[in-house]
Amino acid sequence: MNRLIFRSTQELNEAGAGIIVGLLQTNPKAVLGLATGSTPIGIYEELVKSHRRGLVSFRSATSFNLDEYVGLPPEHSQSYHYYMQQHLFSHIDLPASRANIPDGTAADLAGECERYNKLLDDAKQIDLQVLGLGHNGHIGFNEPDQSLVSGTHVVTLEAATREANARFFDKPEDVPTHALTMGVGTILKAKTILLVVRGADKADIVFRALTGPIKTEIPASLLQTHPNLVVLLDEQAGRLFS
């Protein structure tokens, strides 16, 4: 595990983007696993800047997003399809045909999970998986449980997760109750995992996830088993490590 703590948000964003840019410069056909939420926005902004400066191209790359809400159409302002268009895809040269996101409006959700798993299997391996961290230790939308699902699956979102995401919706009851998410097994198959955590409210859970017992009740604790885990923390999130 390579754990880095940054004094400023800008330094963290630049470091995260730099890792991705470096990968694409050495491997233009890299497969990227992408996350959503507030955590990676600054990193995506830096990627856009690097692309506009001609430092990096995405035209030969492929991406797979971690998750999507069930029931939100792609044009919904809180869908992850919309998020990715707003923050990254519409600003870079990644072909739309290789920007993969689960379809939360599929009539057959189990079939959609199978389709997404097939795409992931065909891609062989994600070269770099970007992750955030939920307050309850979830990664993707893999919630704490007695056991965890390996592949893409439908998950019922915990009340704490829905509460944390309610700020993005007009009313708390508008937050979807279910999501499609890449499984922990798929996440752990990535060659490199880039875990990005910000804020004092995440200090306790990231410390427990990375130093405590490995257990499915804290899904992120399984990241301790990964041979190439890079952790980027701001000072507030990383305060318990000092």
Tell me, yes or no, if 45 is annotated catalytic.
no
Q: Is 136 a catalytic residue?
A: yes
Question: Which one of 14, 46, 67, 234 is the catalytic residue?
Answer: 67
Coil, helix or strand at residue 183: coil
Which residue among 46, 127, 143, 234 is the active-site one?
Answer: 143
* CA angle 24–61–185, rounded 5-degree value: 95
Residue 166: CB atoms within 10 Å:
14
DSSP letter at 83 equals H
Residue 132: alpha-carbon gap to chain centroid: 5
User: One of 117, 136, 158, 178 is an active-site residue; which one?
Assistant: 136
Structure tokens at 60: 């030969």
For residue 134, the tally of other CB atoms under 10 A from its CB is 22
Told to judge if 138 belongs to the known catalytic residues of this protein, a careful annotator would answer yes
Query: Which positions are annotated as active-site residues?
Result: 67, 136, 138, 143
